[in-house]
Structure formats: C-alpha cells, structure tokens
Amino acid sequence: MSKKDKATIHDIANKLGITASTVSRALNNHPRISARTKELVHEAAKEINYKPNSFAVALRNGRSRLIGIIIPTVNRNFFSSIVRGIEEYANQHDYRVVITQSYDNYEKEKQTVNALIDAQVDGIMVSLGKNTTALTHFKKAIERGIPLVFFDRVAEELPVSQVVIDDFQAAFQMTEHLIQQGYRRIAHFNSPMKINIFQERLRGYRQALENYGLKVDPELILYSNLQLEDGRESVASLLNQGIPFDAIFSASDYSIVGALQELKKNGIKVPEAVGLAGFGNEPFTEFTDPPLSTVDQVSIPMGQSVAKMFFDLLESEEKSLPIQKVMLRPKVIFRKSTQKIASNPVAKIAPATPF
C-alpha cells in the first residue's frame, strides 16, 4: 500500500552520488573500495532499511540459499525435532529451509523432488518414504549437481552421504533387555518394507535371540504397516491362533500401543504376563498405562549432524565430494512395560553409551 517499493542499491547510490557498482562492492566488502565509502554505504543502507533482493541475487549468482527437506511427515516427534535441528543450523548460515512432506507416498515424493529442483534449492536432505523403491528421481538431482544428504531412512545404493542411528544395536539391546527380564517367547512386529531401518531392527532382534540361545520362531514375527490398528490386529491374530508369547518388541511405537490396548481388552496384564517394547520414543509412550519401554532416536543430535554434514558438503563442492556416513548411538529407554522383575519400580533410562 504505502512503502511497497523496497530499497535497492540504486537508492543508496543516488543518495550518496555514487554508482550501484560501488554500493554493491562496498556491501560485499570488496578490497578496492575505500573504508570511508564502505562506511557511508552501510550507514545509508541502514537508514533506508535496505535489504538485498534475494531473487536478484539468486538469479545473478545461481545460488538460492534455499535448502529442501523431504520427510515422510512433519507430524512425528522424531522428524519435527530433526527439522528443528536443521533449521537452526541453516538459519545461522543464512539459509532458508523448505520443508516438504512425502506422506510416505512414492508419487508425492517424486513430485516433491522435482518441485525442489525446479525451485532451484541449493541442496536436499531426505528421509525416504516407506514405499520408495526406485530412486531415479534422486539420481536426477545428483546429475544436476545438487548436494544430497540422506538421514534415518536411507538408500544404500546411492552414492550420497548419510546419517543414521544404529538400529541394529538398539533392537539388540531392547531384545536382550526383554530376555534378561525373563521373557522367553518374544514376538516381533516389523514392516514388510525394504527399508534399512526395519531390516536392521529385525536383525538386532534375531541376533539377540541367537546370542541367548533362543530359537527364532517365524510364527512370532508379524509383518504389518505398524500403525495402531495393526498392533491390535497382530495381537488378536496371535491370540486367536493360540500362539503363545510373553513379550512383544515392535519396530514402532504406534503398533505397540495397539498391542497394549488389545491385551488389556483380553484381560492380559502388562508387564506381568506380557512385556511390551516399542521404537521411536513418541511422547505418548510415557502417557500409557503402564508407560512403554522404547528407543529414543536422538533426533536433535541427528538434525545437527545432518545439517553439519550438509554444509560441509556445500562448501567442499566443486572439489572432491567425499561420501560420509555417520551412525549415531540411540538411547534405549526402559520403562514399566518391560519390568517383569518388579525389583526396580522406578523407570530408568539407559545412560548414553559412549561410542
């Protein structure tokens, strides 16, 4: 309405009786500009509230100072915390962040990648959708020379840097914990998807059983989409088929809550008759009755790690692009839902194990 016209370097130039070139150089601290002029320019800039036009800069320099994040959904504690970590780091470096959601939908993910490329982001950080199999859309970005970093849900086939947590270790520790508590017929809920995180969790589960001389019973491994309803159904299925079990380790917090509800409905006591452990440390795992043991995916450190890796990559660009892989140590949290041994009624949190 009123002062809709933004100040430009030309306004500064006119004000001072010099040219825009000089103003530009002064603002960019060019060595061939006198200290006095720089001073004047900065003053004038402040006075008329000059802000560089980001589009002009982007057009001229070919760098947008925009980075894209692709995550399955923002509505998960884990992802939103990561985003927060990235955002803070990026803002400090004067970059803006575009958050996009794939909703675990392959088509949407493809569109999103293309949209980001068209938007000319300077780089993309991705956590893959559950249903993503083909990766051509990312190859396109790589060909374009757009830096790429994967986190959590990654694709091993692509030559890109990545940050993950040690899902194997976490699953191993949780399963081990269940065994040590005295549970013997431990069921496992997992996803049929071919994503690293689920496969690693399964591997950890198996390894723990084997290490303790327990048989891995295929009947006890149930595949589903790991939502709340899936958890209920999986438990119902076990009960209906009369398959005995005394604990469940789920690769997702959601399905373990479903399991809890179904068990309660059938009058089965947790943790006395059946122990329950989830994965993800969603906030609600603390609110259930009993509170659920779970795995914290150290989202904040992951966000920072991703951002740092990314900006390292940005700067090293045009030179060699060393592919980095960082694996963070998750935190296994033991709560009441796995306390068959009632020795220690206080929930305890595993200390951050050093690397």
Partner DNA sequence: GAATTGTGCGCAATCGATTGCATTTAATGG
Partner DNA sequence: CCATTAAATGCAATCGATTGCGCACAATTC
Q: Contact between 53 and DNA (CB under 7 A)?
A: yes
Q: Which of 39, 43, 47, 59 binds DNA (CB under 7 A)?
A: 59
Cα 31 from Cα 52, distance rounded (Å): 20
Structure-token pair, residue 249: 């380790």
Indicate the SS3 state at residue 296. Answer: strand
Least Å from the CB of residue 17 to DNA:
7
**263, 199 Cβ separation under 8 angstroms:** no
Q: Contact between 319 and DNA (CB under 7 A)?
A: no
Q: Which of 30, 96, 194, 215 binds its own copies (CB under 8 A)?
A: 96
Q: Which of 84, 139, 203, 206 binds its own copies (CB under 8 A)?
A: 84
Identify the sign of the CA torsion 18, 23, 29, 30.
negative
**199, 188 Cβ separation under 8 angstroms:** no
Q: Contact between 98 and its own copies (CB under 8 A)?
A: yes
Helices (H), 283-354: 299-316
Residue type, 218: P
Q: Contact between 77 and its own copies (CB under 8 A)?
A: yes
Q: Contact between 117 and DNA (CB under 7 A)?
A: no
215 to 244: interface string for its own copies, x by CB under 8 A = -------------x----------------
Structure-token pair, residue 12: 């500064």
Least Å from the CB of residue 116 to DNA:
17
Q: Contact between 24 and its own copies (CB under 8 A)?
A: no
Q: Which stretch binds DNA (CB under 7 A): 56-64, 135-143, 224-232, 289-297?
A: 56-64
Cα 236 from Cα 278, distance rounded (Å): 18
121 to 150: interface string for its own copies, x by CB under 8 A = ---------------------xxxx-----
User: 113 vs 209, which CB is nearer to its own copies?
Assistant: 113
4 binds, among DNA, its own copies, none (CB under 5 to 8 A by kind): its own copies
Least Å from the CB of residue 4 to DNA:
10
Cα 42 from Cα 12, distance rounded (Å): 9
Nearest to 137 by CA among 284, 332, 126: 126
Q: Which stretch binds DNA (CB under 7 A): 32-40, 142-150, 229-237, 346-354?
A: 32-40
Q: Contact between 293 and its own copies (CB under 8 A)?
A: no
Least Å from the CB of residue 308 to DNA:
26
Q: How many CB atoms lie within 10 A of CB 20?
A: 14
Q: Which of 120, 131, 227, 324 binds its own copies (CB under 8 A)?
A: 120
| All residues at 6 or more sequence positions from 3 whose CB lies less than 8 Å from its CB, including other chains | none
Q: Contact between 57 and DNA (CB under 7 A)?
A: yes
241 binds, among its own copies, DNA, none (CB under 5 to 8 A by kind): none
Give buried/exposed letters for 211-228 (b at 16+ CB in 10 A, else e): eeebeeeeebebbbbbeb
Q: How many CB atoms lie within 10 A of CB 67?
A: 26
| Cross-sheet strand order for the sheet of 275-277 | 221-223, 186-190, 247-250, 275-277
Cα 278 from Cα 297, distance rounded (Å): 12
Least Å from the CB of residue 147 to DNA:
19
Nearest to 281 by CA among 203, 165, 150: 165
Q: Contact between 24 and DNA (CB under 7 A)?
A: yes
Q: Which of 16, 40, 58, 347 binds its own copies (CB under 8 A)?
A: 58
Q: Contact between 18 and DNA (CB under 7 A)?
A: yes
User: 16 vs 243, which CB is nearer to DNA?
Assistant: 16
